[in-house]
Amino acid sequence: MKKVTQTKPLTIGSLSKKTGVNIETIRYYEKIGIMPKPQRSDGGNRLYDEGQFKRLNFIRRSRELGFSLDEIREMLRLVDEKDFTCAEIAAISQHHLDDIKLKIKDLRKIERHMKNMLSQCSRKETPDCAILDILFQN
Amino acid sequence: MKKVTQTKPLTIGSLSKKTGVNIETIRYYEKIGIMPKPQRSDGGNRLYDEGQFKRLNFIRRSRELGFSLDEIREMLRLVDEKDFTCAEIAAISQHHLDDIKLKIKDLRKIERHMKNMLSQCSRKETPDCAILDILFQN
DNA sequence: CTTGTATCTGTAGCGACTACAGATGATAGA
DNA sequence: TCTATCATCTGTAGTCGCTACAGATACAAG
């Protein structure tokens, strides 16, 4: 008695609900080739399996971490070709982390400038403003 | 003997050099209406005056601080109509600062996740990877 | 006057979606 | 079985803030 855990296929709508990825985005991912072309019902509606659900979840999580679709594409390529090493994935991730650190650094600089400007501002109902003076200077 | 400090008009190229804003970007700003249509030479080349130079500098500085073109448009509108109060400008700026703080917060969260994942990763030349395990889980 | 550089207009592309329109597919109730 | 309603289909265009052309004209130096 073989037990085949055949999960029933998901429509794009239910896949969308289960992953939190919007329907048009799923179709977009297919169009740009990071999601595979799924099976179709007789009428032509997309039907997704468990593997595709996992893949989309991977993409979503990676996007939430700020990976670009190109970085995700590259990771998925390595996975698909079953020809990756931990070192390779780590390199991509490390690069991305460095990127994020840089962004934080830039934003903190901007934050300081903004705070500084705002601290010089009277915030009164008067028609002159230290912020404008700073931004217009020179 | 009147001394009229008539600064000679700038071509788009020299304006670009003086402000560090790229030529196509200057034309783009004109197209979307945050830079005014400048005078033209007999042949039709754009000629900018001191006020326009200052305006473009304002835009550049604001962009460097991460203001959106819509926020900049709004600030310039207030300035152009000479009908702004310091409080209004401060409100826009405060809103923008809040935005930046939020972005930093989000990025720091991502940074923590990334560090966490990378710390669990062997980074070895082996075909299995803790990072992928995490991203694919569920 | 020629040569070379600057500028002109207009359009298309980027990334990562989102938002339609207008046509079908699927499904539940009468 | 019919029908009403929803889901899904394809294809295109829009978003933001530029950037990159192509092909034509303007301008400045020698």
A85–B111 CB contact, under 8 Å? no
Sign for the CA dihedral angle at B104, B109, B110, B112 comes to: positive
B122 touches chain A (CB under 8 A): yes
pLDDT, tens digit, 9 for 90 and up, residues A61-105: 999 999 999 999 999 999 999 989 999 999 999 999 999 999 999
Mean pLDDT, residues A114-124 taken together: 95
B74 touches chain A (CB under 8 A): no
A90 touches chain B (CB under 8 A): yes
Nearest nt to the CA of A70 via C1' is C15
A85–B130 CB contact, under 8 Å? no
Sign for the CA dihedral angle at A19, A20, A23, A27 comes to: negative
**Domain at B1-68, CATH from 1.10.287.990, 2.60.40.420, 1.10.1660.10, 1.10.10.10:** 1.10.1660.10
pLDDT, tens digit, 9 for 90 and up, residues B17-28: 999 999 999 999
Band (A8; pLDDT cuts 50, 70, 90):
confident
Which residues in chain A have their CB less than 8 angstroms from residue B124's CB?
Answer: 85-87
Report d(CA B39, CA A45) in Å as an integer: 58
